[in-house]
Amino acid sequence: MSDTSLRGKVAVIGIGLSAVGKVPGRSPLSLAAEAARNALADAGVAKGEVDGVLSSHAFASPFHRFSVAFSEYLGIRPTFSNTLQVSGATAATMFSIGAAAIHGGLAKVVLLVAADSLMTGLTPDLALRSLTESRDQQYEMPFGIPVANTFAMTAHRHMREFGTTPEQLAEVAVVHRRHAARTPGAQQTAPITIADVLNSPMVTTPYHKLDCSLISDGGAAFVLTSAEHAKALGIGKPIYILGCGECYTHEHIFLMPSLTTTGAVESGRRAYAMAGYQPSDMDVAGIYDCFTGTVVMMLEDLGFCRKGEGGPFVADGQMSYGGQIPSNTHGGLLSFAHSGMPGALFHFHEVIAQLRGQCDQRQVERAALGLVHSLGAGFATNATTILGTEGTL
Amino acid sequence: MAPEDSTRKPLPAPDADTTTFWLGLRHGKLLLQHCRRCRNVQYYQQATCRECGGDELEHRPATGRGKVHSFSVVHRAPGPAFKADVPYAVLLVELAEGPRMISTLTGSDPEDVTFDMEVELAFDQVSDDITLPRFRKA
């Protein structure tokens, strides 16, 4: 590894969630501050020690400079800050940019934080409209294309090319619900069957309501610092950032190079290369699950199974306990919560908690290496992060 | 998002990059940009070729024929403006000239759309200035 590589240079020393799910009456800033206080307490770091803040914008907040508004709200004056926007992949970029800032000397202790109030602050209808209206005003919006539609067209094409079935997609939702049932605070925990998914109302073919992720309130926060400073602070179980990779292939769905092979192949390749590990080395994963078919395609593109075999892989139990890669053990966006930009931060929170061995009844045994893949905007944005314990350095 | 906006369908506002394109549609032509230097054919319209960066782009009308690369039938509208239209089929059409574009099906049952179905352009005048390119079964 070159001296400039981020591998192992930066550690996650604190993690925290706000109340998650249906949390009425709370602004995104209030939720973000709750998550941040929990993350700082978890790290044992005082807010005054934070000199960097990275965030993403919140649909239910008027503050475009969310990281700046947040800092004022928390009562800190950071000397490094930004509000990032690459859709669902933003969460991963908060980690990579935060790590790069620490490694490059721009900041010493960076707080990553995002929260939104899509369910009660904005309402589901307005949340979906906000997402729809962030698309091309000339070439897409006039045709009435819901946010689910672009993802649906990729899944539909996947079914056409590889024979992926509606039942296999539904199984993804079933597994997530089963995982969420073991997660305190998850938004949806009542068991569902494949038939329940297939009988739920059609949203946009091939996606039924239960193939689609939730709309939620809530946020998450993380504290990053250098590996050296983590040691100096006496952090018990620092979790290290071992690899990061991103890939941006298009903006418009009609310019997506392939509907069934995504930028996750390249973002994953880069992350594995930096980390010096392979897909088969991963013990646990967090895979952006905005829709069921998304998970199937990502399991393939990230190398957990071969292209086209994601459906049978899921149906065979390979993304759950005892399978090849236990994924989204918190229940994911499909059943734990999806509050927009913070969505993938919940995957980070879960994977880091797994690597720390803090997941009680849903703990993956001896989890030491974890992968998080976040993505957005109809696979326009992809970012992969590999995390590991001290023993994996 | 004022309430009066939510029930009206969004219409494109042509700009310097796209005025020729929308004018073409008014006159019954879907214009694609052909690069004289590298022969790339592109949709959507802009000042330079996205392949070679050259600015020798020529507008040529598409044949209007294509086939369905993928599709999704919308049952839950993205907002009040489209509620009366459901179910409608959003099509990702691969044009005979190569580029893909997104639009909706007109003139037949959305449930009858299939992969690789042959389609042809249908011009849908939605205002004095704007004609949207839709597709019907060929």
**Residue B1 confidence (pLDDT):** 42
Q: Which residue of B has its CA nearest to A147?
A: B78
Note the pLDDT of residue B33.
Answer: 98
Task: Give the pLDDT confidence of A354-383 residue by residue, as tens digits.
Answer: 999 999 999 999 999 999 999 999 999 999
DSSP 3-state assignment of A199?
A: helix
- Look at residue A1 in the predicted model and tell me its pLDDT: 47
Model confidence at A132: pLDDT above 80:
no
Could you give the percent of chain A with pLDDT greater than 70? Answer: 99
In angstroms, the separation between the Cα of residue B115 and the nearest Cα of chain A is: 8
* Cβ contacts of B103 on chain A, cutoff 8 Å: 143
Buried b (16+ CB within 10 A) or exposed e, A202-229: bbbbbbbebbbbbbbbbbbbbbbbbbeb
Give the residue from chain B lying closest to A131, CA to CA: B78
Residue A299 has pLDDT above 90, yes or no: yes
Global ipTM: 0.95
A362 in Cβ contact with A71 (< 8 Å) = no
The gap from C-alpha A198 to its chain's centroid, in whole angstroms, comes to: 26
Q: What is the pTM of this model?
A: 0.97
Report the pLDDT averaged over residues B34-51.
96
Q: What percent of chain A has pLDDT over 90?
A: 94
Mean pLDDT, residues B26-40 taken together = 97
Q: Are A90 and A63 in contact (CB under 8 A)?
A: no
**pLDDT value, residue A127:** 82
pLDDT digits (tens, 9 = 90+) for A31-89: 999 999 999 999 999 999 999 999 999 999 999 999 999 999 999 999 999 999 999 99
The stretch A326-335 carries a mean pLDDT of 98
Burial of A30 by CB count in 10 Å (0-12 exposed, 13-18 middle, 19+ buried)? middle
Query: What pLDDT shows up at residue A320?
Result: 98
Residue A172 Cα to chain centre, angstroms: 16
Confidence of residue A131 (pLDDT cuts 50, 70, 90): confident
Average pLDDT over residues A232-236: 97
- Nearest C-alpha in A relative to B15: A138
Residue in A133, A135, A139 to test binding to B, most B beta-carbons within 10 Å: A139
pLDDT value of position B2: 45
State the pLDDT confidence band at A130, using cuts at 50, 70 and 90: confident
Q: Please give the average per-residue pLDDT across A114-128, as a whole number.
A: 89
Closest CA relative to residue A306, chosen from A260, A250, A340: A260
User: Taking CB atoms and an 8 Å cutoff, what residues of chain B touch A153?
Assistant: 70-72, 90, 92
Instruction: State whether residue B42 is helix, strand or coil.
Output: strand
The pLDDT of residue A123: 86
* The pLDDT of residue B5: 67
Residue B127 has pLDDT above 70, yes or no: yes
**Burial level of A365, CB count in 10 A (0-12/13-18/19+)?**
exposed
- Is the confidence at residue A332, as pLDDT, over 70? yes
